[in-house]
Amino acid sequence: MESIGKKTRQISLKVPLSFLLLVLFACASPMKKVQVSSKFVSNNRLPVLKLAILPLNGEIEGTEFFREALHAALMDTEMNISEKFVVDGVIKKNGWNTSEKLFAIPPQKLGEALGADALLYGKVTKWNKYYAIIHSTLVAGLELKLVDARTGELLWRGQRVDREFEGLIKIPTGIIRAIADPISGIISTIADPIFFVSKKSNLDALASKVAKDITESLRNPYTIKKADKMDQKIIITSADEYIKKIEENNTSMEINPLEEVLIDGSIPPVELEDIPSLEDDYLSLEGIRPDFMKTAEVAEKVLHLSKPEKQPELQETYDVAPMPGDSSVTSQKQSSNDIKSASLKTEKLADKKTKTSKPAKISSDKKNIYTIQVGAFQSRNYAKTLIEKLKRKGYNSFIAMARIGKKMWYKVQVDHFQDKKKAVLYAKKLRKKEKLLYFITKTDAAPPA
């Protein structure tokens, strides 16, 4: 009430102001402008994003009202809104306690710190109360930008200014009211403006209204008009600079990724039910396999330098090895109850065929022999565990050791093939039955007898 008293003492100043307001705002309608990135909204739906609502910039009281109102309004969207305490906690922890600091950080880094896919930046542009005895006005305005934290792209932006009046110049009811007031009491003409500006809940309600209106297109994407779509893709400058920095500071691939996963103490990846399957053509595109696989292969070849360079060509002597328990194959080539190693069977078949064609033997040191690698471990025990499991199921599996850098790796491989296509076919069946990740690799090792 003290503040109202102060304002009352300034009547002489406020009266002219009220007439100025009459001229300026009498016919004012809420100003609202929204722009949306074309890719942000498709089929009237927003992508499911984790959104962090950042502290707003601007007049402090206004920022608090608006942030809460925005949070409540956006909870009604398809976006997943980050908890406020998480956003505030991360900001505090990182010492980004001023708007300047916060807004200077590339969106990608902010998104990384907050665990968010998108960021809502905002600024309170208007937060004013005007009081002049017979008239009062509340003004609240907000500018928002929604930025993709993965790319730095501006997805959506909006601005809105809204006003609420009470008193004589309330148009159209204000002037009529001046006539009608004798009916309901002239007192209200003065009383209403006083209560209007002094009541905190009115400001709060106006902030809620502005927040709801400005986010209407996020809550109801079908309201977005064609004219609201941005003409071009806009990337936030700091985001662009961040990408350039990564590009310039690029160091070549620093790791053998196997190191990250298959370390000592790891569990052999025996049954990875949910890992999506590799597709067939990957296996035949050896030239574009990930570099770490090539590295492993090179390292392995170095270990076997003492082996003869030239090897006699092998003939294609056996069919695709049957899978253990594969009835369609076993029914032709073996008794269904006698599950033995696939390799042994194929070798028997090979022997049979070679006897009738050329008298070539399967040498123990041939090159261009393929095998299916299903795991690589630094722990021999883990490799053995996988081998035993595979052997129990009837697969001809074995360990190949390879030194990569300073570390020794125990690679678990299944069977040997002279024809890569057949290795691929066998590997496909292996994948289907055992859900094992694999790749086809050449080996100099001898097929076991």
Q: Which of residues 18-57 bind another protein (CB under 8 A)?
A: 50
Does residue number 262 form part of the binding site for another protein (CB under 8 A)?
yes
Site for another protein in 151-210 (CB under 8 A): 151, 153, 166, 173, 176-177, 180-181, 183-185, 187-188, 191-192, 195-196, 201-202, 204-205, 208
| Integer angstrom CA distances of residue 240 from 30, 96, 108 | 34, 21, 10
Does residue number 274 form part of the binding site for another protein (CB under 8 A)?
yes
CB of 176 to another protein, least distance (A): 5
Amino acid identity, residue 190? Answer: I
CB atoms within 10 A of CB 106: 19
Chosen residue from 261, 328, 338, 357 binding another protein by CB under 8 A:
261
Give 219 or 229: the residue with its C-beta nearer to another protein. 219
* 13: exposed, middle or buried (Cβ count in 10 Å: 0-12, 13-18, 19+): exposed
Site for another protein in 99-158 (CB under 8 A): 108-109, 111-113, 115-117, 148, 150-151, 153
Chosen residue from 171, 278, 299, 425 binding another protein by CB under 8 A:
278
Whole-number CA gyration radius for the chain: 37
Contacts of 237 (CB under 8 A, 6+ apart): none
Give 57 or 256: the residue with its C-beta nearer to another protein. 256
Give 260 or 338: the residue with its C-beta nearer to another protein. 260
**Among the listed residues 138, 145, 120, the one whose alpha carbon sits nearest the alpha carbon of residue 67:** 120
Q: CA-to-CA distance for 196 and 129, rounded, in angstroms?
A: 9
CB of 228 to another protein, least distance (A): 20
Does residue number 308 form part of the binding site for another protein (CB under 8 A)?
no
Q: Are strands 80-81 and 50-53 parallel, antiparallel or unpaired?
A: parallel
Count of residues interacting with another protein (CB under 8 A): 82
For residues 155 and 147, the answer to whether their CB atoms sit within 8 Å is yes
**Among the listed residues 184, 158, 157, the one whose alpha carbon sits nearest the alpha carbon of residue 173:** 184
Give 2 or 247: the residue with its C-beta nearer to another protein. 247
**Residue carrying structure tokens 């908890």:** 83
First to last CA, the chain: 99
Does residue number 434 form part of the binding site for another protein (CB under 8 A)?
no
**Among the listed residues 333, 341, 347, the one whose alpha carbon sits nearest the alpha carbon of residue 394:** 341
Give 144 or 211: the residue with its C-beta nearer to another protein. 211
Does residue number 405 form part of the binding site for another protein (CB under 8 A)?
no
Does residue number 5 form part of the binding site for another protein (CB under 8 A)?
no
CB of 226 to another protein, least distance (A): 23
Site for another protein in 241-260 (CB under 8 A): 243, 246-247, 249-255, 257, 260
